[in-house]
Amino acid sequence: MSSGPESGGRVVWKGRFLEMHVAPWGEGGQWEYTRRVGGIDAAVILALTDAGEMLLVEQYRPPLGRNCIELPAGLVGDDTADEDPLDSARRELVEETGYEASHWEGYGEFASSPGMVGEIFHFYRATGLSKVGPGGGVSSENIRVHVVPLEKVPAFIAEARERGCAIDTRLLIGLNLL
């Protein structure tokens, strides 16, 4: 996985999925940050239908204590070691939304929140979509899929905020790539 070079930090806590690190910083200071166990990355998908719609997902996010509107996304290699990021994106798009894509375009790697989290995500545009399953995620994810006409995405986001939803910043990337 390509989560970047180690910073000389040490693991001070390790759970099943996350680790807390402390690294030397400045003159006698320290920097605290999290990483995924095993340094696994994520894949994020801007999925667009031929009818000019964007696929968005909504799910409860415990760190925020509320639902969040997001682009479909998931972890690279959480089920299969050394999984290719594009293969993860394909798998996650079907799991979360129930759609497959015939065309994929990669936009590269991006850092989620580089001052706090060591996560890298691979960003893709998926087009040529066809419905192949129910979506909704796996086990207890309870993902709700929204198929939103592109011209209505800003109003949809405003309405979601009114309902108390958080909005994932990666939507800004998606909106700028339209």
At 166, list the tokens.
């958080």
Give the number of other CB atoms < 10 A from CB of residue 31: 15
Instruction: State the pLDDT at residue 58.
Output: 98
Mean pLDDT rounded to a whole number for the chain: 91
pLDDT at 3 over 60: no
Summarised one tens digit per residue, pLDDT across range 26-84 is 999 999 999 988 888 999 999 999 999 999 999 999 999 999 999 999 999 877 778 89
User: pLDDT category, 107, cuts 50, 70, 90?
Assistant: very high
| DSSP 8-class letter at 143 | P
Distance CA 87, CA 19 (A): 25
Strand locations in 18-98, DSSP E?
Answer: 18-25, 29-36, 42-47, 53-61, 66-70, 73-75
Instruction: State the pLDDT at residue 8.
Output: 63
Instruction: State the pLDDT at residue 1.
Output: 38
Summarised one tens digit per residue, pLDDT across range 151-176 is 999 999 999 999 999 999 999 988 88
Instruction: State the pLDDT at residue 97.
Output: 97
**72 — phi, psi (to 5°)?**
-55, 140
Three-class SS of residue 7? coil
Helix, strand, coil distribution of the chain in percent, nearest 5: 20, 45, 35
**93 — phi, psi (to 5°)?**
-60, -45
Q: Are strands 166-167 and 53-61 parallel, antiparallel or unpaired?
A: unpaired
Alpha-helix residue ranges (DSSP H) falling in 2-141: 85-97
Domains of the chain are 39-176 (3.90.79.10)
pLDDT at 95 over 80: yes
At 62, list the tokens.
């415990």
**Average pLDDT, stretch 111-115?**
91
